[in-house]
Amino acid sequence: MALMSLTFLHYLAFSLGIGGGVAGLLAGRMAARSEPELRRGLGRLQRRLGQISALSVLVLWVTGVWLIHAQYGGLAPLPWLFWLKIAAVVGLTVCAAWLQLLSLRAWRRGTPPPAPRMARLSMLANLFALLALALGVAAFA
């Protein structure tokens, strides 16, 4: 039962993370074509979605490590596709951290973060998330 709850939490974090990432990209596209008043609100929405996604990545790391140890007793029995998945997760983690850093710096300055860089990093983060999902399915199917 505990393993099932942990797996549920892992999948929930992934769903919130990737959903927040896609929603943030859509809000960014809408903001680029909006009036300044609406742009500010969409920017706040993007920031909150980014925070949720970044927290989800943290939860994924914790639950993932816990699941690996609970199900496999460690890293040794894992297939090579798992290690490719981990490489994608590391890429996702770096992008999420960088996005949060840019967002926090901009928030402290009272300015919007650099939109082109945020858009590129968001797309890259979503690509890494989808790659991690595909490799996770392939590794554990």
Close Cβ partners of 87 (under 8 Å, ≥ 6 residues apart):
none
Question: What are the residue ranges spanned by the domains of the chain?
Answer: 2-140
Q: CA-CA distances (angstroms) from residue 68 to 4, 71, 72, 85, 114?
A: 13, 5, 5, 13, 38
Quote the Cα angle for 4-132-11, to 5°: 25
The pLDDT of residue 1 is 67
Q: Which residue has the tokens 């925070």?
A: 51
pLDDT in tens, the chain (141 residues): 688 999 999 999 999 999 999 999 899 889 889 998 899 899 899 999 999 999 999 999 999 999 999 988 888 889 999 999 999 999 999 999 999 999 999 999 999 899 899 999 999 999 999 999 999 999 988
- Please tell us whether the domain made up of 2-140 is placed in CATH 1.20.120: yes
The pLDDT of residue 74 is 86
| pTM for this model (two decimals) | 0.90
DSSP string, 38-89: HHHHHHHHHHHHHHHHHHHHHHHHHHHHHHHHHHHSSSTT--HHHHHHHHHH
The pLDDT of residue 49 is 94
The DSSP call for residue 110 is T
